[in-house]
Structure 1
Amino acid sequence: MAVQHLNKGNFKQAIEGNAFVIVDFWAPWCEPCMSFSPTFEAASDVHSEIVFAMVNIDESPEIAQYFNVKQIPAVMPIRNQVVVDAQVGDMTARELDEAIAAWGEFDVTEIDRYFKEKQAV
């Protein structure tokens, strides 16, 4: 699946409309970001059940500020609209695959239950 490019206009829809989204915060002037991009894009082809998205922090600084992104590349997996982890820095393909596996196994049952109870009130 192709990597989506998110901005202020489509970020919320992408997060709310998908159960598992991995967001890469990056900038075109960031050399580690540029070297990590092909790895991120290759992972999106392998894991078609997950939405892979990129946020250019220069074009969408408000999103980066909201998530308190201080260093890039920063990768955040979001499961059921909740950030479950964050990785800062370049990763190898193997490191990214291992992280994706761990993020996929993360049990969000209690988080889901909490938010369902909040909505019911």
Structure 2
Amino acid sequence: MATVNLTTDTFEETVAKDGIVLVDFWADWCGPCKRFAPIFEESSKEHGDIVHAKVDTEEHQELSIKYGITAIPTLMAFRDGIMVFNQAGALPGPALKQLVDAVEGLDMDEVRQKIAEHESQA
């Protein structure tokens, strides 16, 4: 599956879906973003069952503000509508594969339980 471009209108709907969604926040002027783009694209070909999405931070600044993007590229991973990873910086190919494997291996019942415990303490 090729990468998809997200907008303010499509972001929430896309990341809320069941399964894994990787989101790359990027900008055209960003050198590290340009170096990460082919790695992200290759991952989308290797993992056709995972949505690989991109957000142009220049065109969709409101999403950058909402998600606290202060450096790019920033990669987020959502699984079953829950953000499970958020990190600035370009990942090399092996690290991205390791991230995908880790997200696939999550016990989402345990993740939901930890979120509920955290929220009950707040």
CA distance in 2, matches of 1:43, 1:100: 9
Tell me the CA shift for residue 60 of structure 1: 0.7
Determine the structure 2 residue equivalent to 1:40.
40
Determine the structure 1 residue equivalent to 2:17.
17
1:86 is paired with a residue of what secondary structure? strand
Tell me the CA shift for residue 80 of structure 1: 1.2
CA distance in 2, matches of 1:45, 1:106: 22
Determine the structure 2 residue equivalent to 1:2.
2
Q: Give the unaligned 5+ runs of structure 1.
A: 116-121
Tell me the CA shift for residue 112 of structure 1: 4.4
Tell me the CA shift for residue 25 of structure 1: 0.4
Determine the structure 2 residue equivalent to 1:49.
49
CA distance in 1, matches of 2:81, 2:17: 9
**Are 2:58 and 1:58 aligned?**
yes
CA distance in 2, matches of 1:46, 1:100: 11
CA contact 1:27–1:57 (8 Å) conserved in 2: yes
CA contact 1:6–1:54 (8 Å) conserved in 2: yes
Cα deviation 1:31-89 (Å, max 9, x = unaligned): 00011000000000000110000001111111111111111101000011111011211
CA distance in 2, matches of 1:86, 1:16: 16
Tell me the CA shift for residue 19 of structure 1: 2.0
Instruction: Name the % identity.
Output: 32
Bigger shift: residues 90-99 or 44-53: 90-99
Determine the structure 2 residue equivalent to 1:118.
none
Matching residue's letter, 1:81: G
Tell me the CA shift for residue 17 of structure 1: 3.0
CA contact 1:21–1:51 (8 Å) conserved in 2: yes
Task: Name the count of aligned residue pairs.
Answer: 115
1:58 is paired with a residue of what secondary structure? coil
Determine the structure 1 residue equivalent to 2:103.
103
